[in-house]
Amino acid sequence: MVDGIAAVPDGSPPARFTSRRAGIAIEGLEPIERGFVEMRYGFAELEERYARLAEMGRAVDWKGGSFEEFDLRSFLEEVLPTLQFPAPHPRAMEYGTGTGPGACFLAARGFRVEAIDISPTAIQLARRFATERGLEITFEVADICDIHCGERRYDLVVDNYCLQRIASNQRREQALQTVRCLLAVGGHFLIGTVLAREGRDYGEDRLDARTGIRYRRLGEDAEKYEDAVRLDGAWYVPIRRYLRAEELRSELEEAGFEVVRQRGGQVVCVVRRRAA
Ligand SMILES: C[S@@+](CC[C@H](N)C(=O)[O-])C[C@H]1O[C@@H](n2cnc3c(N)ncnc32)[C@H](O)[C@@H]1O
């Protein structure tokens, strides 16, 4: 698993970060491992986005595009018929549901669906769009990195383009451990995530090519974010994580999954069982 912070962006010399807490420059420091800053930072922006979508007066996905043709649809259509489920109405859990297009797709196909998102506004919309379609889905505001799996078990867990928004190693590990725990024996974990892409333009953001972490430059309000890191005289927060395909695979394997199929950022996994 890649780690730490050193080079930004491709080809540029190793950078020195100053952590707000430590107040000193330390090469290879890992400031993002201390908290949930990538969520706290983007929260207001996310809520504004979903509030704008609410005004559109029709069901849309998180981009304001078609609710029916959401990003993960073709992958689900391709993969679901190849999976075996123990009962006619398998239990499914989707995280990063947004306005719920994936959850509705699954419920319309007979899954008993529970879905979560960290955005309360997205969850309100998801409930509305599901009700409009006559679908019974349990939607909750929750963070996949924070929930306790308890007694709940699912035949299917779906990451619907959420993982790239979880930047730190610690939170990604928490999310994957939770998924492992949530899966019933024989259950499947389907992932759609954004991978690193050569030549992508990050605008004012900076990419740490070694870790795949994308940083957003902070303005005057940098003081608000305790996990902000200082680079070349400016403050940044980590907002995304774009791994390469083989890094994603290693991360999943290290977290105890067996990757049974992978096409880029679209992956089918099962929990690796110990040899008898
Ligand atoms: C790229 S959007 C995709 C939304 C939806 N799946 C779609 O296709 O329209 C990612 C979603 O993940 C949610 N999210 C980000 N981090 C999360 C976390 N830690 N736990 C649960 N949801 C999260 C965001 O609020 C956002 O709605």
Task: Look at ligand 1, atom 23, and give the residue with the nearest C-alpha.
Answer: 96
- Res. 34: pLDDT tops 80: no
Q: How far is the CA of 217 from the centre of ligand 1 (A)?
A: 22
What atom in ligand 1 is closest to the CA of residue 119? 25
pLDDT at residue 46 greater than cutoff 60: yes
- Pick the more confident residue, 271 or 39: 271
Please give all residues whose beta carbon lies within 6 A of any atom in ligand 1, as ranges: 46, 61-62, 70-71, 95-99, 101-102, 116-119, 122, 143-145, 160-162, 165-166
Lowest mean pLDDT among 4-8, 18-22, 192-196: 4-8
Q: How far is the CA of 16 from the centre of ligand 1 (A)?
A: 31
Please give the number of the atom of ligand 1 that sits closest to the Cα of 116. 21
What spacing in Å lies between the alpha carbon of 212 and ligand 1's midpoint?
19
Of 47, 49, 62, 144, the one to substitute when testing ligand 1's pocket (max ligand atoms within 8 A of C-beta) is 62
What residues does each domain of the chain span?
Answer: 1-34+201-243, 49-194+244-271
Question: What pLDDT was estimated at residue 273?
Answer: 85
Q: Closest ligand 1 atom to the C-alpha of 61?
A: 9
pLDDT at 67: 98
Give 96 Cα–ligand 1 centroid separation in angstroms.
3
How many angstroms does the Cα of residue 208 sit away from the middle of ligand 1?
Answer: 22
Ligand 1 center to residue 95 CA distance, Å? 7
Mean pLDDT score, 154-177: 95
Ligand 1 centre and the CA of 177: distance in Å? 18
pLDDT, mean over the chain: 86
What are 207-249's pLDDT values in tens digits?
A: 999 999 999 998 877 777 767 888 888 888 889 999 999 999 9
**Rounded to 5 degrees, what angle do the CA atoms 103, 133, 65 make?**
65
Residue nearest to atom 27 of ligand 1 (CA): 98
- The listed CATH number (3.30.450.70, 3.40.50.1000, 3.40.50.150, 3.30.450.30) that belongs to domain 49-194+244-271: 3.40.50.150
Atom of ligand 1 nearest to the CA of 63: 9
Q: What's the 98 CA to ligand 1 centre distance in angstroms?
A: 5
Output the residue whose Cα is nearest ligand 1's atom 4: 98
